[in-house]
Structure 1
Amino acid sequence: IDTIKKLASIILKDNVFAYGKKIYKQTTGGAMGSSLTLTLANIFMSEWQKKLVEEQTKTGEFYGRYIDDIFMTWNRSEEELRKLLDDVNTWHPNIKLDYKIGNSLPFLDVQLTNNNGILSTS
Structure 2
Amino acid sequence: MPTYIKDTTDFLNKFTAIQQPLPENAIMFCLDVTKLYPSVPRKEAREACKTALENRSDISIPTEDVLKMMDLVIEINNFSFNGKHFLQTEGTAFGSHLGMNYACTYLGQWEEYLFQNSNLQPYSYWRYVDDIWGIWKHGLDELKKIHELSTNIHPQIPTEMRYSTDKNLIS
Q: TM-score range by the shorter chain?
A: 0.7 to 0.9
Question: Which shifted more, 69-78 or 58-67?
Answer: 58-67
Taking a change above 3 Å as real, the CA distance of residues 64 and 53 of structure 1, as seen in their structure-2 partners, is farther
**TM-score, normalised to structure 1's length?**
0.74
Displacement, 1:49?
0.8
Counterpart in the other structure of 1:9: 71
Matches within 5 A, 1:1-122: 1-53=63-115, 59=121, 61-103=123-165, 113-114=169-170, 118=171
Instruction: Please report the RMSD computed on the Cα atoms of aligned residues, expressed in angstroms.
Output: 2.4
Equivalent residue letter for 1:62: S
Asked whether the equivalents of residues 11 and 31 of structure 1 are also in contact (C-alpha less than 8 Å), the reply is no
Whichever structure has more helix as a proportion of its residues is: 2
Displacement, 1:78?
1.4
Aligned sequence identity (%): 25
Asked whether the equivalents of residues 11 and 37 of structure 1 are also in contact (C-alpha less than 8 Å), the reply is no
Secondary structure of 2:145's counterpart equals: helix
- Structure 1: 5+ residue stretches without partners: 105-111
Counterpart in the other structure of 1:109: none
Secondary structure of 2:80's counterpart equals: strand
Whichever structure has more strand as a proportion of its residues is: 1
Taking a change above 3 Å as real, the CA distance of residues 30 and 59 of structure 1, as seen in their structure-2 partners, is closer
Q: For 2:74 and 2:155, locate their aligned partners in 1 and report how far apart those are by CA, in whole Å.
A: 17
- Structure 2: 5+ residue stretches without partners: 1-62
Count the aligned residue pairs. Answer: 107
Equivalent residue letter for 1:3: D
**TM-score, normalised to structure 2's length?**
0.55
Q: For 1:59 and 1:47, locate their aligned partners in 2 and report how far apart those are by CA, in whole Å.
A: 16
Secondary structure of 1:23's counterpart equals: strand
Asked whether the equivalents of residues 104 and 129 of structure 2 are also in contact (C-alpha less than 8 Å), the reply is yes
Runs of at least 4 residues of structure 1 off by over 4 A? 53-56
Q: For 1:8 and 1:23, locate their aligned partners in 2 and report how far apart those are by CA, in whole Å.
A: 22
Q: For 1:55 and 1:27, locate their aligned partners in 2 and report how far apart those are by CA, in whole Å.
A: 30
Displacement, 1:95?
1.3
